[in-house]
Structure 1
Amino acid sequence: MKYKNAKNILPEELVTEIQKYIQGDIIYVPIQGKKISWGEKSGSKETLHARNTRIFDLYTLGYDIKEIQDMFNLSESSIRKIISNIKKSQLCLGGITNE
């Protein structure tokens, strides 16, 4: 993403209006019409999903948090958060039952 000076590309009236809300800071203007969420274009989102699913699968197979932590070089709290989030999402989808 390249920095551009608003006064060099926008009409003076628009710059004056924007200055009512923000001055001297950098703001991001999203691309109009495109609804691409973080990581979709680069594949990062899919990679993280696969990793997190693997972490959850190992946990359900009986691996303890410390073993998983060492495998993925993540903190204990990160592993617990991933497991918790997947449990919650599966509960919402009806994938886990309390039998």
Structure 2
Amino acid sequence: MTTVKAHTVLPDALIREIQLYIQGETIYIPKKDSSHAKWGSQSGTRKRLDERNAAIRASFEKGRTILQLADEYFLSIESIKKIVYKK
């Protein structure tokens, strides 16, 4: 998140209107919903987790136990259950 001075990007009339509600404070203006990227999509983390979960499911289908998978992937038994039983 970057900080931008209001007078460099907003018209004076809008700044005066905002000053009716808040003055001298920092205000966060969120992105439009349409411009939000899903969590992990830009860094590749989401893809890596999806690939890991697919590997866990495949190993489970081949006979690995939930306890073995938890030890192998350093996850809790409950986390492994959520992954393998997810529809």
**Does the TM-score normalized on the shorter chain lie above 0.5?**
yes
Provide the TM-score with structure 1 as the length reference. Answer: 0.62
- In the alignment, the residues of structure 2 paired with residue 68 and residue 15 of structure 1 have an alpha-carbon distance, to the nearest angstrom, of 57
Q: Distance in 1 between matches of 2:19 and 2:79?
A: 43
What stretches of structure 1 move > 3 A for 4+ residues in a row?
Answer: none
TM-score, normalising length: structure 2: 0.69
SS class of match (2:81): helix
What does 1:54-69 correspond to in 2, within 5 Å?
A: 54-69=55-70
Gaps spanning 5+ residues in structure 1: where?
89-99
Deviation per residue, 1:37-68 (Å, 9 max, x gap): 11111000100000000010010000000100
Match of 2:35 in 1: 34
What is the alpha-carbon distance in structure 1 between the residues aligned to residue 65 and residue 41 of structure 2? 31
Q: Percent identity?
A: 29
1:54 & 1:15 partners in 2: Cα distance?
54
Larger gyration radius, structure 1 or structure 2: 2
Q: Which residue of 2 aligns with 1:92?
A: none
Q: What's the RMSD between the two structures over aligned residues?
A: 2.7
1:13 offset after TM fit, Å?
1.9
Q: Shift in Å at residue 34 of structure 1?
A: 2.3
Unmatched 5+ stretches in structure 2: none
Counterpart residue identity of residue 79, structure 1: I
The within-5 A match list for 1:14-93 is 14=18, 16-17=20-21, 27=28, 29-30=30-31, 33-85=34-86, 88=87
- CA distance in 2 between partners of 1:71 and 1:15 (Å): 56
CA distance in structure 1 between the aligned counterparts of 2:29 and 2:46, rounded to whole angstroms? 21
Q: Which residue identity does 2:17 align to in structure 1?
A: E
> Partner letter of residue 18 of structure 2?
L
